[in-house]
Amino acid sequence: MPIVDVENLTDLDKAKMELEQKKKEVPLERALLSKGCTEFMEAVQATADEDPLVKGIPEATNPFKEIKGGCVIC
């Protein structure tokens, strides 16, 4: 797999690259934004109940609770 020689790309090479890319992107199928937003919102809300940073973490089960007493030697 030849590695692309980026340093020697001319302005013409870059313009060709961009044109080729746009040709590929024009025919993409695009879904309605409302559909994506709705699905995405539902997915987030469905899992928000198990999201520790959203619902909060009880002190007893918090792995980062304050380390009281003792001595930590590095």
Partner 1 sequence: MGELDVLKKEAETLKTQIETARKAVNDTTMEAASSGVAPAPRIQPKARRTLKGHTAKIYALYWALDNKLMVSGSQDGKLLVWDTHAGILANCVPLKSAWVMTVSFSPSAGLVASGGLDNMCTIVNISGEKPKTMRELDGHDGYVACSRFLSETSILTASGDQTCGLWDLETGKQKQSFLNHVGDCMCVALAEDQNTFISGACDSQAKLWDIRDGQCKQSFIGHTGDINAISYMPNGQAFITGSDDCTLRMFDMRADQEVMCYQNAQPTAGVTSLSLSLSGRLLFAGYDDFNCNIWDSLKGEKIGVLSGHDNRVSCTGIPSDGMCVSTGSWDSFLKIWN
Of the candidate residues 58, 64, 68, 69, the single one contacting partner 1 (CB under 8 A): 64
Residue 58 found at the interface with partner 1 (CB under 8 A) = no
Of the candidate residues 58, 66, 69, 71, the single one contacting partner 1 (CB under 8 A): 66
Residue 59 found at the interface with partner 1 (CB under 8 A) = no
CA dist list (Å): 12 to 4, 17, 19, 41 = 16, 9, 11, 43
Query: What is the token pair recorded at 8?
Result: 């020697």
Q: How far apart are CA 66 and CA 57, in angstroms?
A: 13
Residue 11 found at the interface with partner 1 (CB under 8 A) = yes
